[in-house]
A = this chain, B = another copy of it.
Amino acid sequence: MTETWERFSELARELDDLSSAIKLLHWDQEVMMPRKGGPSRARALASLQAIAHKRLTDPELGDLLEGLSVDDSLALDQAASVRIMKRDYDKATKVPESLVRELAELEATSYQVWTQAKPANDFSMLHPYLSKMIDLKKQQADAIGWEKERYDALLDEFEPEMKTSEVESMFSELGEALIPLVDKIIDGAGECPEFVSREFDPQIQESFCRWLVRSLGYDMEAGRLDTSPHPFTMQVAPGDVRQTTRADAHGIMMSIYAAIHETGHALYEQNLPEAWAGMPVYQVPSLGLHESQSRLWENQIGRSRGFSNFIFRELRNRFPEQLSDVDEEIYYRGAIHPQRSLIRVTADEVTYNLHVGLRFELEVALFRDELDVQDLPGAWNEKMEHWLGIVPPSDTEGVLQDMHWSIGALGYFPTYSLGTMYGAAFYEKAKKDIPSLEDGLSDGRVEPLAEWLGEHVYSHAYLYPGPELGERILGEPLSPGPFIDYLRTKFGDAYNLSW
């Protein structure tokens, strides 16, 4: 069996190397590439992806996976790599190439149409493309296969082994608890401190972010911090996990919390077990788990009273003029300020998951044939009124705001909220395990948490599928309880609310 494993391992590493090259081409495209390099880059990416697809669907790999799947002499991490690769192989071989191509073309066209439909506030432009997208996505789901319902196959792309019914019951519980909470918290919050929208030199913001991500334990020798229009994190390869940030001159909060958010993602990738580098097990099991780390660091740490004091002291050193009349309390209120808003990407931690729940419900309804694409704008607005108590004045600020559906990312949105819930649950567990966890936060001492996450989360990499890993870490299945408790405690304390 050793020989089979060796050969499998060789093919897996080669696929990983190809994927690493593809990721670098993408990173470079977003961050470094000159404009006129665009057409050549698109061609190079297409060629590399075709080569990778051919290797992934090679019958030799299929045979190796067949044999290794029933080999019980494999170590836990080896068995996991086989299971993960088999998943990828099965998906890649089950979906017909013609459908893959059709989807790729539609995604490109539909995205282009979206970029015009959104500013034009014209959903009817996007409608035919979105209808076609839902149709092709149904075909894709059917090709891959599903048991209880079609949407399971879509969700499984981003959150392996998670089922629609589980997510549905979590969102229902979340919504029930959240809607009344939001009312009370927003009433208690009052006006947002005005300093947050003063002018802050973007270059100083960037160097501040550099200090900040280092303070959080991000290893600059195994990564980079650059700027890009949309902040993101990418593991180019083991030992090379890059993040980007963006600084807006008319405000200070975005760059700070985007940097903490991305650092949460990056710490996960930088601390996967080195011994497994290059193999399928060396990865984060799901987008929800990935997001658990960005949310936890951004909100539970970055927007804690203790750590926000730590941030504020350094920030005032760098912006003495802009912050001369701001103190720790005002800064904290600026950092956590909640409000009802129309746009998901700029929503605060209290209301954010309402935006996501709405999208999840609409997606599920589309795939259960309970909603037609042409009725999306109306359904969107109704749900906005129900979940957030406000109605968008236009589709630009409503159903057209996100690009996700136009690029075929259906089943993706719920992972944002799964991340929120995982993050809060992990943090609650860590505080139980280490009662002094928050003691050093106002001095920037995050090592105890980093160690806890290293041991309980990062060290497993993809040994288990997401839901199983979550339950192993928490000792119980994921639920919205810890997140709701966290909001009650935090905002109760901040605004003197009693529940």
Q: Which of A41-49, A123-131, A167-175, A451-459 contacts B (4 or more CB under 8 A)?
A: A41-49
Quick one: which of A25, A37, A223, A237 has the most chain B CB within 10 A? A37
Within 8 Å CB of A46, what residues of B? 17
Interface contact A20-B40, CB-CB below 8 Å: yes
Complex alpha-carbon distance, A166 and B242, angstroms: 50
* Contact yes or no, B222 A36, CB < 8 A: yes
Confirm or deny: A370 has a beta carbon within 8 angstroms of a beta carbon on chain B.
Answer: no
- Per the bound structure, the CA–CA distance linking A37 and B240 in Å amounts to 5
Is A230's CB within 8 Å of the partner chain B? no
Name the distance in Å between A296's Cβ and chain B's nearest Cβ: 24
Binary B-proximity of A199-241 (CB < 8 A = 1, otherwise 0): 0000000000000000000011111100000000000111110
Q: Taking CB as reference atom, which chain B residue is nearest A35?
A: B221
Residue numbers in B under 8 Å from A242 (CB-CB): 34
Task: Give a binary string over A26-68; 1 marks a CB under 8 Å from any B CB, 0 the rest.
Answer: 0010001111111111011011100100000000000000000
- Digitize A257-299: 1 where CB-to-B-CB distance is under 8 Å, 0 elsewhere: 0000000000000000000011000000000000000000000
Known: A20-B44, A43-B17. A36 touches B278 (CB 8 A): no
Flag if A40 contacts B238 (CB, 8 Å): yes
| Interface membership of A14, Cβ < 8 A | yes
In the bound complex, residues from chain B placing their C-beta under 8 Å from that of A37 are 222, 236-237, 239-240
A326 at interface by CB-CB < 8 Å: no
Query: Counting CB contacts under 8 A, is A184 at the interface?
Result: no
Alpha-carbon distance A222/B34, docked complex (angstroms): 5
Specify the main secondary structure of chain A where it touches its partner.
helix
A219 touching B17, Cβ below 8 Å: no
Report the Cα distance A468→B60, complex, angstroms: 48
Question: B44, B221, B240: which contacts A17 (Cβ < 8 A)?
Answer: B44
A13 & B219 in contact (Cβ 8 Å cutoff): no
Q: In the complex, what residues of B have CB within 8 A of residue A366's CB?
A: none
Please report the C-alpha to C-alpha distance between residue A40 and residue B28 in the assembled complex, in whole angstroms: 17
Residues of chain B within 8 A (CB-CB) of A28 are 24, 28
Q: Which residues of B contact A144 (CB under 8 A)?
A: none
A21 CB within 8 Å of chain B:
yes
Whole-angstrom distance between the alpha carbons of A224 and B37 in the complex? 11
User: Is A18 interfacial (CB 8 A cutoff)?
Assistant: yes
Give Cα A24–Cα B24 distance, bound, in whole angstroms: 8
Q: Assuming the A-B contacts A34-B239, A37-B239, A239-B38, are A13 and B43 also in contact, with contact meaning beta carbons closer than 8 angstroms in the complex? A: yes
Q: How far is the CB of A12 from chain B (nearest CB, A)?
A: 11
Tell me the minimal C-beta distance from A76 to chain B in angstroms: 23
CB pair B222 A43 closer than 8 Å:
no
Instruction: Name the residue in A35, A224, A240 with the highest tally of chain B Cβ atoms < 10 Å from its Cβ.
Output: A240
Contacts A21-B44, A51-B51; A240 near B33 (Cβ below 8 A): yes
Q: Which of A13, A20, A44, A239 has the most chain B CB atoms inside 10 A of its CB?
A: A44
* Chain B, Cβ-Cβ closest to A223: B34
| Nearest CB of chain B from residue A72's CB, rounded to whole Å | 30
The closest CB in chain B to the CB of A270 belongs to: B36
- Give the Cβ gap from A53 to chain B, nearest Cβ, in Å: 13
| Cβ–Cβ contact A240 & B20, under 8 A | no
Provide the residues of chain B in CB contact with A47, threshold 8 Å: 13-14, 17-18
Question: Which residue of chain B lies nearest to A28 when distances are taken between CB atoms in the complex?
Answer: B24
Residues in chain B near residue A39, CB distance under 8 A: 238-239
CA A44 – CA B220 in complex, angstroms? 21
CA distance A223 to B36 in the complex (A): 8
Q: List 19 A-B contacts (CB under 8 A).
A: A13-B43, A14-B51, A17-B46, A17-B48, A18-B48, A18-B51, A20-B44, A24-B24, A34-B223, A34-B224, A34-B239, A36-B219, A36-B222, A36-B239, A39-B239, A40-B238, A40-B277, A43-B278, A51-B51
Known: A21-B44, A41-B240. 20 other contacts (CB 8 A): A14-B47, A17-B43, A17-B44, A17-B46, A17-B48, A20-B40, A21-B25, A24-B25, A24-B28, A32-B224, A34-B221, A36-B219, A37-B222, A37-B237, A37-B239, A39-B238, A40-B236, A40-B240, A40-B277, A40-B278
